[in-house]
Amino acid sequence: MKAAIVMLMGEESEERLSEILSLAETAGYDVDRVFTQKGRASRKYVVRKGKVSEILEYVVESGPDVVVFENLLTSRQTLALEDTLGAAVIDRFDLILNVFEMHAKSREALLQIELARLKRRMPYIKMYLSRKVRTEHPGFGGSGEFIVHSTLTTIHRRIKSIERSLKRFERRSELQRKRRRKIGKVVSLAGYTNVGKTSLLYALTGVKKPVRDELFTTLRTKTASYMLNETKYMVCDTIGFIRNIPLQLIHAFNATLQDIASSDLILIVNDSSLDETTFLRRKQICEDVLMSIGANDNLWLDVENKIDNGSQQLSGSVTVSAKSGEGVEFLKHEIERMLSHD
- The string of pLDDT tens digits covering residues 180-238 is 878 889 999 999 988 999 999 999 999 887 566 556 666 567 889 999 998 999 999 88
Same-domain pairing of 224 and 331: yes
Q: What is the pLDDT of residue 81?
A: 95
Answer whether 0.85 is exceeded by the pTM. Answer: no
Same-domain pairing of 154 and 268: no
Same-domain pairing of 188 and 275: yes
Q: Look over the chain and give the mean of its residue pLDDT values, rounded to a whole number.
A: 87
Task: Select from 59, 77, 99 the last residue of a domain.
Answer: 99
d(CA 68, CA 72) in angstroms, rounded, equals 10
Domain that holds residue 125: 106-165
Task: Select from 99, 126, 153 the last residue of a domain.
Answer: 99
Q: Taking Cα atoms as reference points, which of 316, 322, 228, 225 lies closest to residue 273?
A: 322
Instruction: Please give the torsion angle defined by the CA atoms of residues 200, 205, 206 and 209, in that order, rounded to the nearest 10 degrees.
Output: -60
Task: Select from 99, 115, 145 the last residue of a domain.
Answer: 99
In the chain, how many domains are there? 3
54: pLDDT confidence band, cut at 50, 70 and 90? Answer: very high
Same-domain pairing of 300 and 264: yes
Q: What is the pLDDT of residue 42?
A: 86
Same-domain pairing of 147 and 42: no
Does some domain include residue 170?
no
Mean pLDDT of 69-79: 93
Does some domain include residue 176?
no
140 pLDDT more than 70: no
341 pLDDT more than 90: no
Mean pLDDT of 103-128: 86
Does some domain include residue 69?
yes
Same-domain pairing of 332 and 235: yes
Q: The domain spanning residue 241 has which CATH number?
A: 3.40.50.300
Same-domain pairing of 194 and 258: yes
Mean pLDDT of 268-293: 91
Same-domain pairing of 210 and 94: no
d(CA 284, CA 278) in angstroms, rounded, equals 10
Same-domain pairing of 146 and 245: no
Same-domain pairing of 88 and 138: no
Does some domain include residue 174?
no
**CB 230, CB 151: distance < 8 Å:** no
Same-domain pairing of 251 and 143: no
Share above pLDDT 70 across residues of the chain, in percent, rounded to a whole number: 91
Q: Which helix (H) or strand (E) holds 266?
A: strand 265-271
Same-domain pairing of 195 and 281: yes
Does some domain include residue 177?
no
160 pLDDT more than 90: yes
Does some domain include residue 172?
no
Helix ranges (H only) for the chain are 13-26, 49-62, 75-85, 92-103, 107-136, 143-183, 197-205, 247-252, 254-261, 276-292, 328-339
